[in-house]
Structure 1
Amino acid sequence: MTETRRVVCWRHGQTSWNLEKRFQGQTDIPLDRTGAAQAEHAARLLTALGPDAIVASDLSRAADTAAALARRTGLPVEHDKGLRERSGGQWEGLTGTEIRERWPERYGNMDIPDGEEMTAVGKRVAEVIGRGLEKVPADGVLVVVSHGAALRAGINRMLGLPAEYREVLGPLGNCSWSVLGPLRSGGWRLLEHNAASLPEERVLGDDR
């Protein structure tokens, strides 16, 4: 049987710190009212994909986003610390302007003095996805609910992109998602990125 599993990498909804452009990292900031509404809207769409399993970061903004999908599908949510956002050390809670003023030489490439390395983030996120896929059938859908930088790092790892091409993938908007599917030759390919709607069937049919 040909494997057709898909991995939906779904970023959490909006928080007050997103609006204020503050570095959240692993600080546990909850969804705001807009973020909760975003989660409900996205959950209605993602339910149509027929998810088989949901795994989420244990930080509340991701856990509560995942809960919106769980309510619609009846699936349990497995929470895993390996899906937490990149640790931002001294940068957490600061705005982009404040970080740029204090660490001008490091801000451009997001080189956090006491932060977590992106390669380590990608490794832990990809490991969680691998464990989640063990619970999904060969034609199933795994939904992974996490954070913007963590998801991009995990996707980069799964696609086998070298570190110098980390920025090839643009950022994920709040409650947007990316979809990975298997290559016939092994490994993974990116089917969608930063999506907020389901693809039309004729678009999918061009390149199966």
Structure 2
Amino acid sequence: MIFLMRHGEDDNTRLGGWSDAGLSVKGREQVEGACEFFDGNSQDIRYIFASDLQRTKDTADIVSKYLDLPVTQLKEFRETNNGDLAGMPKERFQKEYPGLYYASLDWEQKYPNGESPKDFYNRIKEAWGKFKVSTEALEGNVLLVTHAGVINIIRCIEEGVQYTNKEVHFKTGHAEIVSLNRNVIFLDVDGVLNSKFWDNEHQREISEGKYVDVDSVKLFSKLVKKTNAKVILHSGWRFWFDDEMKPNRAEAKFFADVMEKEGVFISGVTPDLTTEEIRKAKKFSLVKAGEILQWLKDNPTDNWLVIDDLDLHNSEIASHQVKTDAEVGLTENDVEKALNLLLG
């Protein structure tokens, strides 16, 4: 497993990026406090890698002493190269480069003598791909000490979220540690994130985004954040998203917006094994198990969970399933069951 750690606080009167500022007193205290995380995991963290900027070196050195492990520095995991603005006092920045923030840059617009968002993204994407390959055979867990911008890009890549410099999808606090595990949640929508599955008056299944229960989504968000799980859609709603997971119907856009507001993103979908007969009869439960197992065959996963209101007619799936009440949707008890199944 790979853990990502953001450096502690540095000099907050200056710009970051490729700044050479080290940790502040508060930053050192943040990192020392964060080291308590390793008390139950120290035997598992066997390798420490870090960006070679001073604030990450300082952070890694503190962790290194705590775990009694060496540090390997990797220049490629530096924060975005903000060129002439690196380490510049913020007061001077406001006078000389007012408004020239990372989010204000066009995709291919470079900082003066620095990188563009495109350059930064491509650098981290390439470095991350090589890093995963190079650490795959290592025994024990790996810690990479880096920067907020880098972690945001890595998590976008891992979660299947389209990266943009205009929005931070994954925020990471100073000295915060994020685990990149292989937990997966297969999510149904109707009967899980709906407060009612049936329109009793008309005896029909509700399949419209406006019926997504925001409270249920908030509960689901807690589960995702506690388990750091990828979300794979195995609901019929998956047909309302294109290959890049962009919604192609108003209902799906509503659903995606509500999920994103709670910090949850759909990373992918199960394969379609339905037939015309099954689609006409709406007997999707007959093939859902096969679709999930096929996804798992194509994407080997350590821990996985299915949340669905239907019996999926498969003993293996049943041992990994939290079955919700279709008339109620996801509950606190369901979330507790899910946490027990995924985390033990």
- The change in CA–CA distance for 1:142 and 1:108 in structure 2 (over 3 A counts) is closer
Q: Give the TM-score taking structure 2 as reference length.
A: 0.47
How far apart, CA to CA, are the structure 2 residues paired with 1:203 and 1:53? 31
Q: How far has the Cα of 1:121 moved from its partner?
A: 3.8
- The change in CA–CA distance for 1:43 and 1:95 in structure 2 (over 3 A counts) is same
2:6 maps to what in 1?
Answer: 11
How far apart, CA to CA, are the structure 2 residues paired with 1:182 and 1:146? 21
How far apart, CA to CA, are the structure 1 residues paired with 2:7 and 2:19? 14
- Report if aligned partners of 1:129, 1:144 keep a CA contact under 8 Å in 2: no
How far apart, CA to CA, are the structure 1 residues paired with 2:153 and 2:18? 15
Q: How far has the Cα of 1:54 moved from its partner?
A: 0.9
Query: SS state of the match for residue 103, structure 2?
Result: coil
How far apart, CA to CA, are the structure 1 residues paired with 2:91 and 2:172? 21
Aligned-residue RMSD, C-alpha = 3.3
Task: Note the alpha carbon deviations across 1:131-187, whole angstroms, 9 max, x for none.
Answer: 5523533xx321110111122122223333223487352432111122211267xxx
1:31 maps to what in 2?
Answer: 23
- Report if aligned partners of 2:30, 2:175 keep a CA contact under 8 Å in 1: yes
- Is residue 119 of structure 1 aligned with residue 254 of structure 2? no
- Report if aligned partners of 1:56, 1:63 keep a CA contact under 8 Å in 2: yes
Q: How far has the Cα of 1:205 moved from its partner?
A: 2.9
- Report if aligned partners of 1:12, 1:145 keep a CA contact under 8 Å in 2: yes
How far apart, CA to CA, are the structure 2 residues paired with 1:136 and 1:57? 19
Structure 1's unaligned 5+ residue stretches are 1-5, 194-200
1:58 maps to what in 2?
Answer: 52
Over alpha carbons, which structure has the higher Rg?
2
Query: SS state of the match for residue 152, structure 1?
Result: helix
How far apart, CA to CA, are the structure 2 residues paired with 1:68 and 1:56? 12
Judge which range, 122-131 or 29-38, deviates more.
122-131
- Tell me which of 71, 75, 78 is aligned to 2:69: 75
Task: Note the alpha carbon deviations across 1:177-208, whole angstroms, 9 max, x for none.
Answer: 22211267xxxx98449xxxxxxx99853535
- Is residue 136 of structure 1 aligned with residue 163 of structure 2? no
How far apart, CA to CA, are the structure 2 residues paired with 1:54 and 1:39? 14
Structure 2's unaligned 5+ residue stretches are 185-223, 230-335
Which ranges of 4 or more aligned residues in structure 1 deviate by more than 6 Å? none
Query: SS state of the match for residue 93, structure 1?
Result: coil
- The change in CA–CA distance for 1:108 and 1:146 in structure 2 (over 3 A counts) is closer
How far apart, CA to CA, are the structure 2 residues paired with 1:105 and 1:44? 39
Paired amino acid for 1:13: G
Paired amino acid for 2:135: L
1:155 maps to what in 2?
Answer: 155
How far apart, CA to CA, are the structure 2 residues paired with 1:63 and 1:125? 18
- Is residue 48 of structure 1 aligned with residue 183 of structure 2? no
Q: How far has the Cα of 1:52 moved from its partner?
A: 2.1
- The change in CA–CA distance for 1:207 and 1:109 in structure 2 (over 3 A counts) is same
- The change in CA–CA distance for 1:98 and 1:108 in structure 2 (over 3 A counts) is farther
How far apart, CA to CA, are the structure 1 residues paired with 2:29 and 2:16? 20
Paired amino acid for 1:144: L
- Report if aligned partners of 1:86, 1:121 keep a CA contact under 8 Å in 2: no
Percent identity over paired residues: 24
